[in-house]
Structure 1
Amino acid sequence: MRKLLPLIGSSGSHPGGRSALTCRFRCGDACFHDIPNTSANEYVGDVISDALSRRSMMRAAAVVTVAGAVGTSAVVGTGAPEAAAVTATTTAKGGHGGHGGHGDSGGKGARGLRFTPVAPNTTDAVVIPDGYRQNVVIRWGEPILRGAPAFDPENQTAAAQAGQFGYNNDFLALLPLPGEHGSSRQLLVANHEYTDEVLMFRGYDAENPTRDQVEVAWAAHGLSAVVVEEDRKSGKLTAVPRHSLNRRVTATTEFRLTGPAAGSDLLKTSADRTGRKVLGTLNNCSGGTTPWGTTLHGEENFNQYFAHGSRTTDTRYGIGTGATERKWERFDKRFDIAQEPNEVHRFGYVVEFDPYDPTSTPRKHTALGRFKHEAATVRMTDDGRPVVYTGDDERFDYFYKFVGSKKMRKGSSRAVREHNLSLLDEGTLYVAKLTGDSPAAEFDGSGTLPSDGEFDGSGTWLPLVTATARGAVSHVDGMTAEEVLVFTRLAGDKVGATKMDRPEDIEPSPRTGKVYVALTNNTNRGKSGYASADEANPRNANKHGHILELTERRGRAEATSFAWSLFLVAGDPADPATYFAGFPKDDVSPISCPDNVAFDPHGNLWISTDGAQLGSHDGLFGVATQGSRRGELKQFLTVPTGAETCGPLVQDRRVLVAVQHPGEVDGASVESPASVWPDGAGKIVRPAVVAVWRADGSDIGV
C-alpha cells in the first residue's frame, strides 16, 4: 500500500504552502486578512457540517514521511548561463514517478506525455526529464531596449530598469514573426507580476524604502515584449536585444480606459479629470492571446498597492486601512486613497497589449469587470465573436465569462486592427452559478466521491451587464452599469454567484471546446463561519486544490448554461480523497495547488503549480483530457528553491516556463540568499524564463 507524501508544515509557511516573504510581496498577506466575500450566497449544495469525517481525520493522522523521492531527471540551474546537465540517480517511491504500467514512457503513455516523469524533489534547479535539454532564455535585468545598460544589481536605476527585462515574470506568449530570419524568430511577451524588494536591493529597509528603490520597482512591474531566436542546431532559445519590436510597459506607462465605465465619475482623479487615462499596470498575473494578434493580461492583487482605505465600497476588495508594504504612497499620492479615492478603481482590469505596434497605447477593458483577474483566455463563437473567460483569485470568489457582440475582422490594415482592438468593449459580462446533482448529505468534507461516482452537475451564466455602442444596461438590481463594472464583486454577490476555492487560470480546449478552471486551494473551507464542502468544492481545509471541467450547452461558447464535473482533485494519489478523471492512481504523479494551465498541440492540459503542499518544489505537469488515458498525469519539471512555476507555454518542440520568485524563502535576502539559481553562488538570484526541448530535436512527449 502506498504511503502519503509528507506535507509541508514548517512554522514559517503561510497557508497554501507559500513562504511569508511571498505572501508579503505578492498578494499583501491576503490569507491573513478577513475574507472579503461575506455574502450569504448559496453554495453548490446545502450547507453541511464543517467537521471532517472520522475517516478523513484518521487519514490525516496517518501521514508519514516518504524519503528519497528524487527521480531520474536532468538537472540544470547553477553556474554558467547554459550549464551542463547532470543526472540524479534515485527513483520515486511507490510508483509516483509513473514507471511501468500505464505511466511507462517509451510510447505507452498518452501522445505528448511520453517522457519519464520527474519525481518530487527539492533540488535548487530546474529539473527536467532524462533526454531533454534546457537554457535560460532571459533573466530579470537583461537589457532589451536600445541604450539600456548591462544589469548591475548594486547600482540599479529606474532608467536602466525601464529598458531591461522586468521582475517576476509570469504569463508568457510566443507570437509569430513570419519571414524574419527564416521564421527562426518569435516575439515573446511576458507579464511582470510584482517585485520583492528584499531580494532586489542589498540592505533594504522595509520601513524606509528610498525613492530610487521605489522608482526601480515601478519600472520592474508591467510587461516586456522581446524578440527571441532559436538556434536550430542546439534547440537553444535566446533573446534578441534592441530589436525594434522590443518594448517595456511599466507602472508609469500611459494606458487608455475603454468600455462602458470609461469616463465615469468613479474613475476620475485630480490628475485625470476625464476618467479615461491611467498610468501603469500592476500585479499582472496570467493572461491570454487573441486571434487578432494581441495579448491579454489580468491585473490581480492590485489592492495591496493602495494605502489608507476606508470607503465601504472597497471593503469587498481587501483594501488595507494603513500603510502599504512597499510605502509607495510616500512618493506618489495616487497610491494614497485618502488623497486620491478613485485611483484604486482604475486597477483590477484585463489589459490588452498590441505587441506588433511599439507605439500603441495599451488598454484597460472595463467591460470585463474589475476584480482580481488571474487570466483572460479567448474562445471564438461560430460566427466570429470573442468569448473571454477569467477567474477572480480569492477564496470564496467567482469566475466569469464575457461574450462579445462584435465580430472579428480579418486583415492587417490599421482600420481592421483598430476595430479588433474594440471587440472587448461591447458585449455581456456573466458570472457562474453551479448546482450539484447529488444530495448535499453525501459531502462530508473528506472528498469521498458521491454515490453516482462523479463530482458533477449543471450551471448557469448569470448576466451582470450588457454594453453596446450606445451605452450599457445593468442586470443587477440596485446597481448602475458603471457600478457593476467598477464593483463587480458586489454585483456577483447580489445575483447569487457560486463561491469557489480560488478560481485562477481558465483555459478552453482548442480541440474539444471544454473549459478547464484551476481552483488552487482554500484552507478556510469548512472552518467555523465559512462555507463547508459541496459538490464542486468537495474537501474541507482544501490545501491541494482541484480542476473543474465545464461543457457549454451544445458546445456553443456563447451559451448561458453548462454542465460541469471535477476533472482532477489534487493531492497525493495515495490519498483516497484525490481523483484523476478515473485514471489508475498508481500511475500518476502527485500534484498540489494547480495555478496556470495551457494546452499542447495534442490536446493535453499542462498545469503549473503554486505553493505545492506535498514536500516537493512546485512544477509543471501534463495530463491527458481525452481517450483511454484521460486523467494520466505526469510531472515534466520542477523549479528551484522558493520558486513558483508560471507561464507555461507548450509548443510542438519546446516548453517554456517562467520561473518566478526563486529564493523567496523566509529569512532570505540579497545578503543571505536561499537559492543560487540561475547563475550560481555569489550572484544575485534572478527570476527568468526557461526553455526546454528534446535533445534529439523531436517533438515533446512523442
Structure 2
Amino acid sequence: MRKTLPLIGSHNGGRAALTCRFRCGDACFQEVPNTSSNEYVGDVIAGALSRRSMLRTAAVVTVAAATAGTVVGSGAPQAAAATPSGAATGVAHKGDKGARGLRFTPVAPNTADRVTVPEGHAQNVVISWGQPILRGAPAFDPDKQSAKAQAGQFGYNNDFLSLLPLHGEHGRQVLVANHEYTDEILMFKGYDPQNPTREQVETAWAAHGLSVVVVEESRRSGRLSAVTRHQLNRRLTATSEFRLSGPVAGSALVRTKADPRGRTVLGTLNNCSGGTTPWGTTLHGEENFNQYFANAAKVTDPATAARLKRYGVTGEASERKWERFDDRFDLAKEPNEANRFGWVVELDPYDPESTPRKRTALGRFKHEAAQPRLTDDGRPVVYMGDDEKFDYFYKFVSSKRVAKGRSRAAHEHNLTLLDEGTLYVARLTGNSPAAEIDGTGKLPADGEFDGGGEWLPLATAGPHGAVSHVDGMTAEEVYLFTRFAGDKVGATKMDRPEDIEPSPHSGKVYVALTNNSDRGKAGKAPVDEANPRNLNKHGQILELTEHRGRAEATTFGWSLFLVAGDPDDPATYFAGFPKDRVSPISCPDNVAFDPHGNLWISTDGNALGTHDGLFGVATRGERRGELKQFLTMPNGAETCGPLVQDRRVLVSVQHPGEVDGASVEKPASAWPDGPGRIVRPSVVSVWREDGCDIGV
C-alpha cells in the first residue's frame, strides 16, 4: 500500500525558516495585517447553483515510475524519490501522448540536490550570482566581495525572467531578471547578523534590484550563454535612481529630507515576479518591502503607525540592520521612506540610460506580479496580486491606447500608458450554499467551486488629476494605502494571491493562490467557495473569465481550476481530470503560458515533503487539467520566473541551499558548482536533446 506524502514544516507550506527570515521578514509569524471585517458574499440565494455538469469520469490508467533526468553541477547524493499514489510519474501509454506541449515523461517528485529534468532533455546554467556583466567588473570571488564589484555583476536570488528580441543581432535576446532579496548568511563567511559590516551592507544593496544582460543561443540546442559587457547590459540596485510617476508623484507623503520634491527614489527592493508589456518594456513588482525598515514602533503619529502596521511594517531593528548605515531605512527619522516602495516598476531594457519609473496609478501593496493584456481597442489592462494572507487581487485598466510602430514618438507615448486609468479590486461571490463549503475541500453539489464577481473601482487617474471612488479616502490615499481602500469596499480576502497571468490564447485569467495556514482559525476569515480549505497548506489556482471576454469588464465568472495537494487527497481537484494521471503539486507561485496555451506553474514551499518544481497543465480540450512535473529544484531552492518558449524552458533557481542551519561554512547544497564552492542562485535553460520543440 502506497503512503501519502507527509506534511512538513512549521512555516508557510514547507518553506525553511531561513527563507521566511530573509525573504519576507517572517511575515507568516507576524500578526496578519488585514484585520478588517470584510464579509464574504458567497451566501447567495437558493436556486443560484451552477448548472455545470458533474465531474467527468475517465478510465484508470496505470503509469510506470519515471527515471531521473539530466543533471547540472555536482550535488549531494540523490535522496530516494517520494511518490504519492496517483502521481503521474511515468511514460504515457502508447497512443496517450498527452496534451500538445506536454508530451514529456513527468519527473518523479524527489529530494535530489540538483535540477532534475525529463528524459531526453539537457540543461545549462545561463548565468549565476556574481557573474560579471558590465565592463570593468571583476570575476566573482566570494572571498573578495565588494559593493563596487557587485554593482557590475549579476545580482542575487534571481526571480522574474523576461526574454525580449534583440533586433539586428541574430541569435541574441535581452534577458531581464529581478533580484528579490539577499541572504547574507549564505553570502558572507563569518557573517554576524547582529553586527554586519558596512561593506557587507553595501554589497547587499548592490545585489538587490534588476539585471539586464544580453544572451546568445546555440545554433544546435536551447543552450543560452550570457554576453558579458554588451552595451545593453545593466544593473539597477538599491541605490540606483528611480522616478515616481503618476498620481502620487510629488505628494507630501512621499517627500523626504533627501528628496523634498517627492519624485526621485533611490532603489527598488524585493522585486518578485513581473510582466512583459506589448510595447517592449518590463514590469517588476516590489513585494516584501516592509522588512527593510526599522523603528516602526517609535513612530508616534497614530495615522502613520496604523498605515505602517497594515503593510506589515512593525518592530524596531530590522533583520539586516541597514538603518545603521542609511537614515532612510530608519522610520523614526524618515517616516515617509516606506511609502516610496511597494510599487510596480517599469523598465525600458533597450535604453541603458533611461530612468525606470514606479507606476503609482497601479496602487501600492506587496506586488507579486503585474502582467498586462490589451483590450479590443488597444488599452493595457494589468492584473496584480497582493502576496499576503487574506489580501486581495487587483487590475488596472488604462485610459490610453498603445501606439503602434517603433518611432520615438510612439515609444514616448507608450511610456505614459500606466499613469492614467482606473484601479479595481476583486470581490467574489460563490454559487453554492455556505453549508456546502465545509472547510475540507469537498466539492459542492454542482461539482465545482465556482461563482461570479465584480471589479470594484478604487480610483481613476487622468491627465488633470485623480478621483477617488472610495468613501472617506482621497485619491492620494487610495493609491498610497491601497490595502485600506480594498478593506473599505469589501474586497474578498484570498489565500495569498501571487502571480496572475491572462492567457494569450483564451483571454482567461489565472490567479495563483499559494496557501494560507490561518484560513479558518479562530478570529480569522472562514472558508469560502474561492478559498475552500481550512488551514490551507497547498493552495489553489483560480480561473477567471471576464464578462464577454472583455478585459475592461467590471464583472466576471470564476472557478477553481486546480486545488493543489497530493492527488490521493479527496480535497484536491485538477479541473476534473483523472487524479491518478497527474503529478502532485503544492504551493503554486509563479505562472506562465507556453505557445500551445498550457499553463506552467512554479512552486514555492512544497508542503508534500519533496522539492519545489515546475509543472505544465493543459487548460483546454479533453485533457484539461492534465498536470505533469517538468523539473525539480536542488536542496532548499524555489522555482521562479518560468519562461516557456518553443525550444527551451527557462527557470530561476532561487535561494538554493537555504535550509535551516546552513551557512557559507556549512552549506546545505553543492549546486551548481559542486562541493567546496559557494552556493549560487542561477538561471537555468532546458531543451530537448533532439533539437525539437518542447513537449511536442
Q: Which TM-score bucket, shorter chain as reference?
A: over 0.9
**Which residue in 1 is equivalent to 2:30?**
33
SS of equivalent residue, structure 2 residue 381: strand
**Which residue in 2 is equivalent to 1:59?**
none
1:558 and 2:552 matched: yes
- Map 1:650-665 → 2, pairs under 5 A: 650-665=644-659
**Which residue in 1 is equivalent to 2:164?**
175
Deviations 1:133-179 (A, max 9, x none): 00000000000000000001101010000000000000000000123
**Which residue in 2 is equivalent to 1:501?**
495
**Which residue in 2 is equivalent to 1:283?**
270
1:248 and 2:232 matched: no
Measure the CA separation in 2 of the matches of 1:275 and 1:508: 34
Measure the CA separation in 1 of the matches of 2:413 and 2:308: 34
Deviations 1:226-254 (A, max 9, x none): 00001112432100000000000000000
Measure the CA separation in 2 of the matches of 1:104 and 1:393: 40
**Which residue in 2 is equivalent to 1:66?**
none
Q: Between 302-311 and 129-138, report the one with greater CA deviation.
A: 302-311
SS of equivalent residue, structure 1 residue 314: helix
Measure the CA separation in 1 of the matches of 2:96 and 2:690: 16
8 Å contact kept, 1:91–1:97: no
**Which residue in 1 is equivalent to 2:208?**
221
Measure the CA separation in 1 of the matches of 2:273 and 2:94: 31
Equivalent in 152, 158, 162 of residue 163 of structure 1: 152
Deviations 1:23-48 (A, max 9, x none): 1100000000000000010125359x
- Map 1:73-84 → 2, pairs under 5 A: 73-79=68-74
Displacement after TM superposition at 1:91 (Å): 9.4
C-alpha change, 1:579 and 1:329, in structure 2 (3 Å) is same
1:147 and 2:144 matched: no
8 Å contact kept, 1:595–1:607: yes
Displacement after TM superposition at 1:92 (Å): 4.7
C-alpha change, 1:575 and 1:160, in structure 2 (3 Å) is same
- Map 1:374-393 → 2, pairs under 5 A: 374-393=368-387
Measure the CA separation in 2 of the matches of 1:430 and 1:569: 26
**Which residue in 1 is equivalent to 2:409?**
415
1:268 and 2:280 matched: no
Residue 172 of structure 1 aligns to which amino acid in structure 2? L
1:23 and 2:20 matched: yes
Equivalent in 477, 486, 496 of residue 480 of structure 2: 486
Displacement after TM superposition at 1:95 (Å): 4.5
**Which residue in 1 is equivalent to 2:67?**
72
1:667 and 2:669 matched: no
- Map 1:103-118 → 2, pairs under 5 A: 103-104=92-93, 108-118=97-107
8 Å contact kept, 2:70–2:121: no
**Which residue in 2 is equivalent to 1:307?**
294
Measure the CA separation in 1 of the matches of 2:310 and 2:78: 50
**Which residue in 2 is equivalent to 1:7?**
7
Displacement after TM superposition at 1:414 (Å): 2.4
**Which residue in 2 is equivalent to 1:64?**
none
Measure the CA separation in 2 of the matches of 1:395 and 1:87: 34
C-alpha change, 1:106 and 1:115, in structure 2 (3 Å) is farther
SS of equivalent residue, structure 1 residue 226: strand
8 Å contact kept, 2:84–2:568: no
Stretches of structure 2 lacking an aligned partner (at least 5 in a row): 45-63, 300-304
1:293 and 2:280 matched: yes
Equivalent in 76, 79, 85 of residue 94 of structure 1: 85
Deviations 1:184-225 (A, max 9, x none): 111000000000000000000000000000000000000000
8 Å contact kept, 2:82–2:110: no
C-alpha change, 1:383 and 1:442, in structure 2 (3 Å) is same
TM-score, length-normalised on structure 2?
0.94
SS of equivalent residue, structure 1 residue 394: coil
Deviations 1:609-631 (A, max 9, x none): 00001111000000000000000
Equivalent in 197, 203, 216 of residue 190 of structure 2: 203
Residue 268 of structure 1 aligns to which amino acid in structure 2? R
SS of equivalent residue, structure 1 residue 225: strand
8 Å contact kept, 1:98–1:586: no
**Which residue in 2 is equivalent to 1:124?**
113
Stretches of structure 1 lacking an aligned partner (at least 5 in a row): 48-68
Measure the CA separation in 1 of the matches of 2:84 and 2:546: 40
Deviations 1:341-378 (A, max 9, x none): 00000000000000000000000000000000000000
Equivalent in 643, 665, 674 of residue 649 of structure 1: 643
Displacement after TM superposition at 1:78 (Å): 2.1
Displacement after TM superposition at 1:313 (Å): 2.0
SS of equivalent residue, structure 1 residue 647: strand
Measure the CA separation in 2 of the matches of 1:444 and 1:232: 55
Deviations 1:440-467 (A, max 9, x none): 0111100000001110000000000000
8 Å contact kept, 1:16–1:612: yes
SS of equivalent residue, structure 2 residue 308: helix
Residue 586 of structure 1 aligns to which amino acid in structure 2? D
TM-score, length-normalised on structure 1?
0.93
Measure the CA separation in 2 of the matches of 1:449 and 1:579: 9
Equivalent in 127, 137, 146 of residue 126 of structure 2: 137
Q: Between 286-295 and 524-533, report the one with greater CA deviation.
A: 524-533
The number of residue pairs the alignment matches comes to: 670
8 Å contact kept, 1:106–1:114: no
8 Å contact kept, 2:43–2:432: no
Deviations 1:578-601 (A, max 9, x none): 000000000000000000000000
Displacement after TM superposition at 1:412 (Å): 2.1
Equivalent in 617, 627, 633 of residue 623 of structure 1: 617
C-alpha change, 1:105 and 1:285, in structure 2 (3 Å) is farther
1:463 and 2:457 matched: yes
Measure the CA separation in 1 of the matches of 2:366 and 2:80: 43
Residue 25 of structure 2 aligns to which amino acid in structure 1? G
SS of equivalent residue, structure 1 residue 500: coil
Measure the CA separation in 2 of the matches of 1:387 and 1:17: 34
Measure the CA separation in 1 of the matches of 2:86 and 2:39: 40
C-alpha change, 1:105 and 1:37, in structure 2 (3 Å) is farther
Measure the CA separation in 2 of the matches of 1:577 and 1:389: 28
Residue 481 of structure 2 aligns to which amino acid in structure 1? F
C-alpha change, 1:614 and 1:44, in structure 2 (3 Å) is farther
Deviations 1:286-313 (A, max 9, x none): 0000000000000000000001113222
Residue 20 of structure 1 aligns to which amino acid in structure 2? A
Structure 1 runs (4+) deviating above 6 angstroms are: 86-91
Measure the CA separation in 2 of the matches of 1:672 and 1:154: 15
Measure the CA separation in 1 of the matches of 2:372 and 2:180: 21
8 Å contact kept, 2:652–2:684: yes
Measure the CA separation in 2 of the matches of 1:485 and 1:302: 16
1:528 and 2:522 matched: yes
SS of equivalent residue, structure 1 residue 403: strand
Residue 16 of structure 1 aligns to which amino acid in structure 2? G
Measure the CA separation in 1 of the matches of 2:336 and 2:96: 58
Sequence identity of aligned pairs in percent?
Answer: 77
Measure the CA separation in 2 of the matches of 1:39 and 1:605: 33
8 Å contact kept, 1:99–1:105: no
8 Å contact kept, 1:73–1:87: no
Residue 651 of structure 2 aligns to which amino acid in structure 1? V
